[in-house]
Amino acid sequence: MNPKKYYKLLNIPLVEEADTKIIALGCFTILFSITIIISDLPKQLSVILLLIRIFSFFYAIHKAELLNRNKFFWGILSLITPSIALITIGLLHFNIDIKPLKTLVKNHRDEYQKKVSNLNLINNTDTKLASEIYLEHNEKLKASIKNKLDELTIYPQKTASIEMNEHSNITVIIGSYIFFLLSFGKRSIGSIKDDKNIANNARVGHIFYLVILIIIIVIIINLLRKSSG
Q: What is the dihedral of CA 118, 119, 121, 127, to 10 degrees?
A: -160
Residue spans of the domains in the chain: they are 3-97+210-228, 99-151
Task: Please write the tens of the pLDDT for every residue from 122-173.
Answer: 777 778 888 888 899 999 999 999 999 999 888 887 644 444 445 666 666 6
Closest CA to 89 of 118, 120, 66, 119: 66
pTM (global) more than 0.75: no
Give the length of the chain.
Answer: 229
Residues with pLDDT less than 50, the chain: 159-165, 184-196
The pLDDT, as a whole number, for residue 164 is 45
CA distances to 58, 80, 167, 203, 205 from 172, in Å: 11, 24, 7, 8, 6
> Do residues 39 and 102 make contact, with C-beta atoms less than 8 angstroms apart?
no
CA distances to 50, 82, 95, 201 from 205, in Å: 19, 20, 23, 6
